[in-house]
Amino acid sequence: MTKTNPGRFFEDYQTGQVIRHAVPRTVSGGERALYHALYPARHALASSDEFARACGLKAAPLDDLIAFHIVFGKTVPDVSLNAVANLGYAEGRWLRPVWPGDTIRSESEVIGLKQNSNGKTGVVWVRTRGLNQSGESVMEYVRWVMVRKRDPEAPAPETVVPELAEVVDASGLVIPSELNFSAYDFELAGENHRWGDYEIGERIDHVDGVTIEEAEHMLATRLWQNTAKVHFDATNREDGKRLIYGGHVISMARALSFNGLANAQMVVALNAGAHANPCFAGDTVRAWSEVLDKAETAAPGVGAIRLRLVATKGDSGDFVLKGEDGKYAPEVLLDLDYWALMPV
């Protein structure tokens, strides 16, 4: 009997099942330093204790995407080892900052199952929660993946397709209770434009590009203890390429968006996301954003802004997204829809 983890197949999931994912993780300033080395991340709130204190927080939280990656990484051995495709995200919300010293673990509830008509695969929906050492939720999101069946003859489960919000409603955004942007220092943040300066429909080309190296995406992906072999083993694909973890592209694009959106300090919701095309070492990643919506919040001086963040590769021209056929252009790597907090 093998002792290695073969991963779950489609018939191993039941609706309502809760999976406690393995390997809790204590974080420190080390993860922050590495995040700054791996991405051109410069949002001041996650960089400076002093800046964060001037915004009412006790210290600088770790970048919100560090929390996402750690929570996500823990689910990989249980959810996506036999996944054919990562189909989507919905209803993602950050619920509480993660601080150096916190210990994070994850658990997922299976909330939907649908066998595909070919009988060989099925779609699994899970709602994943990240929890800190006090058992408090730090974030949650729904993700659905297409998973292989072990045995094509296994009976199909009852189809359950969860109803998911297309967008997290602004009223449901969770803002740290202490957060206060009344005395926000725009100069130290690196950007004069504030919430009122951004218009719905406005698009911003973030200008800069980063050419990706194998060593970097592997360091990043391992840092989140995501050990899916396709990211690390050059002998795994026929073309000898290592597929870059989609989350690496998310963090790279979000960091590049500093140039034009430096005041979009905290990511508070993940409405939707598509990894439109695979990314490989040697690709030069660029990013652009579109303002999709804006909302006021009850927190002093804090507005919410809903952004589309698009990552592209190569010299893809301005604001490329989809072709006339409605499909993503081949240069598009990522199409992410999220809410962030910005001083008004």
Alpha helices, DSSP H, located in 136-291: 186-189, 214-223, 246-256, 258-261
Own/partner long-range contacts of 196-202 (Cβ < 8 Å, ≥24 apart): 196/303, 196/344, 198/291, 198/294, 198/305, 198/342, 199/291, 200/291, 200/292, 200/293, 200/294, 201/290, 201/291, 202/290, 202/291
In the bound state with a copy of itself, the residue whose beta carbon lies nearer, of 37 and 161, is 37
Site residues for a copy of itself, window 19-38 (CB under 8 A)? 20, 22-34, 36-38
To a copy of itself, the closest distance from the beta carbon of 282 in angstroms equals: 8
Binding flags for a copy of itself, 152-171, as an x/- string (CB under 8 A): --------------------
- The residue from 190, 280, 320, 329 that contacts a copy of itself (CB under 8 A) is 190
> Is the torsion defined by CA of 159, 165, 166, 168 positive or negative?
negative
Q: Which of 14, 18, 49, 119 binds a copy of itself (CB under 8 A)?
A: 49
The reply on whether position 194 binds a copy of itself by CB under 8 A is no
64, 58 Cβ separation under 8 angstroms: no
Residues in 300-329 at the binding interface with a copy of itself, rule: CB under 8 A: 314-315
7 near a copy of itself, judged by CB under 8 A: no
What is the total count of residues that contact a copy of itself (CB under 8 A)? 80
Token digits of residue 121: 């695969």
Residue 262 in contact with a copy of itself, rule: CB under 8 A: yes
Packing angle, helices 29-38 and 64-75, rounded to 10:
100
Check: CB of residue 309 under 8 Å from CB of residue 334. Answer: yes
What does the block give as tokens for 306? 């809903």
Min separation Cβ 171 and a copy of itself, Å: 27
User: Rounded to the nearest whole angstrom, what is the least distance from the CB of residue 71 to a copy of itself in the complex?
Assistant: 14
Stretch that binds a copy of itself, among 110-118, 232-240, 243-251, 304-312 (CB under 8 A): 232-240
Residue 196 found at the interface with a copy of itself (CB under 8 A):
no
